[in-house]
Amino acid sequence: MQAIILAGGLGTRLKSVVSDKPKVLSLVAEKPFLNYIIQYLLQQGIHHFIFSLGHLADHVVDFLNENYSNLNSQIVIEETPLGTGGGIKKAMEYVTEDNFFIINADTFFDVSLKDMMGVHLQNNADCTIALKQMNYYDRYGTVIIDEKNTIVSFKEKQFTDHGLINGGYIIFNKSFYNMASQNLPVVFSYEKEILEKNVASTIIKGFISDGYFIDIGIPEDYLKAQKVFKNFPVTAGD
């Protein structure tokens, strides 16, 4: 299995606690957060990594060279920000399989990627999104599914007392992504331009997991992660 690792974010909301390095290299329990992501994905069967970098890319390149020189990987650097969608499209030149993962490198989600890929292939889906049940949140949009776990709509961020969120781990069919993005500008958001605009006309499945989820993008969750990851690997229920 192949994965594009989105690791080029600015980390604006985290600057109050981490200002001198990319968000994905923020130290969590004394190790760069990206280290946990790579280790977990290796355990899950990812054999080819494509790192999409932007902000302070040289720091991430140095980290990979020093710690993962033998990793089967490529590095793609955005000279100017391309948005999530443009960054994926640029990195796709190294994708050789029909279906590939997108992983947000500032998010840890304990999901069985093999089971998720199985559901994706069984349904001949264009896209499959790992979904997490959340309560009392306003940081995320809400994903609406039908009785067969097909995604029917995406709701904008607003306070929600109970719902499903996009957990940041996604499978795309390569042909679908190329077709859906062919007439888009160089800079675009895959969430808006690929997912939301095509949800009614394509097969986008939800894969619900109750595994541990954390997004270190805000200070309070970054601080929470310091305790949680002392006992890595994290498993559901921790």
- Check residue 12 and give its pLDDT: 56
pLDDT above 70: residue 59 = yes
Q: Which amino acid is at 215?
A: D
Q: How far apart are CA 193 and CA 7, in angstroms?
A: 20
For the chain, the C-alpha Rg in angstroms (whole number) is 17
pLDDT above 70: residue 234 = no
Determine the average pLDDT of the residues in 15-23. Answer: 65
- Check residue 236 and give its pLDDT: 34
pLDDT above 80: residue 209 = yes
- Among candidates 104, 26, 92, 91, which has minimal Cα distance to 60? 26
pLDDT in tens, 160-187: 889 999 999 999 999 999 999 999 999 9
- Check residue 238 and give its pLDDT: 34
Q: Which amino acid is at 81?
A: P
DSSP annotation of 92 reads: G
Most confident option among 4-13, 79-88, 122-131, 225-234: 122-131
pLDDT above 60: residue 19 = no
Q: Over pLDDT 70: what percentage of the chain? A: 92
Average pLDDT, the chain: 89
Identify the structural domains of the chain with CATH numbers, from first to last. Answer: 2-229 (3.90.550.10)
> Bridge-partner residues for 128, per DSSP?
171, 205
Residue 235's pLDDT band (boundaries 50, 70, 90)?
very low
Residue 13's pLDDT band (boundaries 50, 70, 90)?
low
- Check residue 182 and give its pLDDT: 92
Angle at 62 between CA 9 and CA 52, to 5 degrees: 35
Q: Measuring CA to CA, how many Å separate 123 from each of 4, 32, 144, 159, 207?
A: 22, 36, 18, 32, 12
Residue 49's pLDDT band (boundaries 50, 70, 90)?
very high
- Check residue 14 and give its pLDDT: 55
pLDDT above 80: residue 140 = yes
